[in-house]
Structure 1
Amino acid sequence: MTSDALAQVTAGLKDAVGEDCGLGAVVKFDFGSEGVVVIDATAVPNIVDNEDRPAQCTLKQSIADFAAMSEGTLGAAQAMMTGRLKIEGDMGLAMRIDGALSRGR
């Protein structure tokens, strides 16, 4: 079952991704016990859902920290240095996510 917070994050990412965010890869946001949001940008239109599957890049953090980063009250560098954001997989892809989400709008 999807929590309200996860449903809100999923809807927000769907809006941000749009038809084609240009990533050309699969990215997973892993929120631990709250669930996951996966952006599959390998096909157009891009798919955003909550099915846990392999990804080229996985970002692990709490939904609260994701929200703080989205609002600009927590920076990515600060989150990584304090262990509030962990990245597994393609670091170059992780660095392109913010720009790709802005592009999809």
Structure 2
Amino acid sequence: MADLGLLVDSIEERSGALSALGYRVRFDLTDGGGILLDATGGTVAVSIAEEGEADAVMRLSSDNLLKLVEGRLSPMMAFSTGRLKVQGSQGVALKLAGLLDQ
């Protein structure tokens, strides 16, 4: 299980690319906890939050989230193999996947 603080730091390191997202995404971690990515207004804020309004909610393990952020797991592969489940806007999830693949 990846540390939530490490996950937040890893996502913040990608904030340059993620600032183009323009939406709020919540990562519900299957092994406990959650992270809210707010990329509205041209800035990126990442916080530990198990609840919060979001345009899309992505449910996956903390280890798989770390692999996604570090580019070691393709978002499409994670989705197609069931390691990633999406609730809410599929369009926002696809846009986030494209930004993570850069």
* TM-score, with length taken from structure 1: 0.76
Which of 1 and 2 has higher RCO (CA within 8 Å, sep 6+)? 1
Partner of 1:84: 83
Bigger radius of gyration among the two = 1
C-alpha change, 1:77 and 1:32, in structure 2 (3 Å) is same
Alpha-carbon RMSD: 2.7
Unaligned runs of 5+ in 2: none
| Of 43-52 and 12-21, the range deviating more from structure 2 | 12-21
Inter-partner Cα distance in structure 2 for 1:6 and 1:98? 20
Aligned residues: 101
C-alpha separation in 2, matches of 1:62 and 1:17:
21
3-state SS of the aligned residue for 1:49? Answer: strand
Match runs of 1:1-105 below 5 Å? 5-18=3-16, 21-51=19-49, 52-100=51-99
Query: Structure 1 residues 38, 59: CA separation in 2 closer, same or farther (over 3 Å shift)?
Result: same
Going from structure 1 to structure 2, the CA distance change for 1:78 and 1:24 (only over 3 Å counts) comes to closer
Q: CA deviation at 1:80?
A: 2.0
Aligned-pair identity (%) = 28
The gaps in structure 1 that reach 5 residues or longer are none
Give every structure 1 segment of 4 or more consecutive aligned residues whose post-TM-superposition deviation is greater than 6 Å: none
Q: Secondary structure at the match of 1:34?
A: coil
What SS does the aligned partner of 2:22 have? coil
Normalising by structure 2, what TM-score?
0.78
Tell whether the 8 Å contact from 1:21 to 1:100 is kept in structure 2 after alignment: no
Report the Cα distance in structure 1 between the residues aligned to 2:33 and 2:74, rounded to whole angstroms.
Answer: 22
